[in-house]
Structure 1
Amino acid sequence: MKKYLIAAALVAAAAAAHADAVQTLRAFVRDVKSGRAEFTQTVTSPDGARKKTSSGRFEFLRPDRFRFGYEKPFQQTIVADGQKVWIYDPDLNQVSSRKLAQALGATPAALLAGGSLDGDFTLSDAGSQGGLDWAQATPRTKDGAFRSMKVGFRGSELAAVEIVDGFGQRSRLDFTRFEAGVALPAERFRFTVPAGADVLEQ
């Protein structure tokens, strides 16, 4: 669950020059229909003492389709096909699935999928830090899986997303080679259950 919430990540990218981070985020949600990038994800425990790092690639195609491929240190694939979110763990040969609406709700991934930005989130400018301009999105509902999300831009380019979950754990995705508006085949967002895999419906 947490990883595709993080997939959250995708939510943010580029738009008009000279726009502040909130305006850039709004323009992205409104105008950018597809994209892909490479990412490095760092998850930090609430006390800051423990960190885990992973990396991979993501792609999205609105409405309601995205693909996260975690490659290191372990492989995992997360696909939203417009109806369901599928998570495949090849080491366990196990697949779990959940209806898209139930899986997303007011989450960062809902923005990626084409959700309601101002309806589901309170937006504010979070200033500049580390060479990035940040927009903060706080969910209007207080019983969700995460507390807040910040989206960082370098100029008009998506650079990072930070998410704090309900337990205070912090996840940061740093992006490279982000491409907006690319042509992506629909087949990239179809998931076929591998032969012999256990399937868990949630």
Structure 2
Amino acid sequence: MMTPFRWRFAVLSLAVGALLTPLAHADGVASLRAFVKDVSTGRGNFTQLVTSPDGKKTRKSAGSLEFQRPNRFRFAYSTPTEQLIVGDGQKVWLWDADLNQVTVRPMSNALGATPAALLSGGSLDKDFTLKDVPKASASGADSNLEWVEAVPRDKDGQFRSVRVGFKAGVLAALVIEDGFGQRSRLDFAQFESRVTLPATRFQFTPPAGADVLDQP
């Protein structure tokens, strides 16, 4: 399993682009390209399920997110424990309330060919191979979604693949598989797009007495 920081960071990277907007496209790749092009700000809620490579261990969580491109996001976990992840355009901050511990990394070293880079749209075709996923390969409610799979061109990265699901052109789900076979799924709801967000939402000051760990 990933360390708490690694799997939290894998998910926080999604907040750069995770928001709904109606898009008039009929397939996953076209919907992803339009989503990346047209959505610049938003906020909403999420639920998350992380599953171990053998499928025997799971971890559920929920929270809210806000984002403003480029590279500004606020990802607040409310359950099972309180954690806050903020990207201020320069650095990524992760605060664990129970430990009163802050982990910080430079933004330039934190994204790369990750789901954040995928959804922020800077280098879709440079960093990823994109392909539509046939609906026949999905089951249940997932069969109603248009799926696109993005495989990083860098085979030495942290992720094997990212699947993005759209419903009628609206972002609905993300499924991430890391290099160890761990799976993380996020389902989105109650999103608002093109909202005005104050700059203070993407600023972070470590709480008094917190341990601050700088990572390269």
Name structure 2 gaps, 5 residues minimum: 1-5
Partners of 2:40 and 2:85 in 1: CA distance: 19
Q: Which residue of 2 aligns with 1:189?
A: 202
CA contact under 8 A between 1:60 and 1:112: conserved in structure 2? no
Deviation of the 1:14 alpha carbon: 3.7
Q: Which residue of 2 aligns with 1:132?
A: 145
Query: What number of residue pairs does the alignment pair up?
Result: 202
Partners of 1:29 and 1:44 in 2: CA distance: 27
Q: Which residue of 1 aligns with 2:48?
A: 41
CA contact under 8 A between 1:56 and 1:69: conserved in structure 2? yes
Q: Secondary structure at the match of 2:191?
A: strand
Q: Secondary structure at the match of 1:85?
A: strand
Partners of 2:21 and 2:149 in 1: CA distance: 16
Query: What letter is aligned with 2:170?
Result: E
Of 73, 76, 81, which aligns to 1:69? 76
Deviation of the 1:158 alpha carbon: 1.2
Runs of 4+ in 1 over 4 A off after TM superposition: none
For the aligned residue pairs, the C-alpha RMSD in angstroms reads 1.5
Q: Which residue of 2 aligns with 1:106?
A: 113
Superposed, 1:1-202 pairs within 5 Å as 1-10=6-15, 11=17, 13-128=20-135, 129=138, 130=142, 131-202=144-215
Deviation of the 1:5 alpha carbon: 2.2
* Amino-acid identity (%): 59
- Identify the structure with the greater strand proportion: 1
Name structure 1 gaps, 5 residues minimum: none
Partners of 1:69 and 1:29 in 2: CA distance: 22
Q: Secondary structure at the match of 1:53?
A: strand
Calculate the TM-score normalised by the size of structure 1. 0.94
Deviation of the 1:8 alpha carbon: 4.0
Q: Deviations over 1:164-183 (max 9, x none)?
A: 00000100001111222111
Partners of 2:30 and 2:21 in 1: CA distance: 10
CA contact under 8 A between 2:26 and 2:168: conserved in structure 1? no
Deviation of the 1:127 alpha carbon: 2.2
Q: Secondary structure at the match of 2:146?
A: strand
Query: What letter is aligned with 1:172?
Result: R
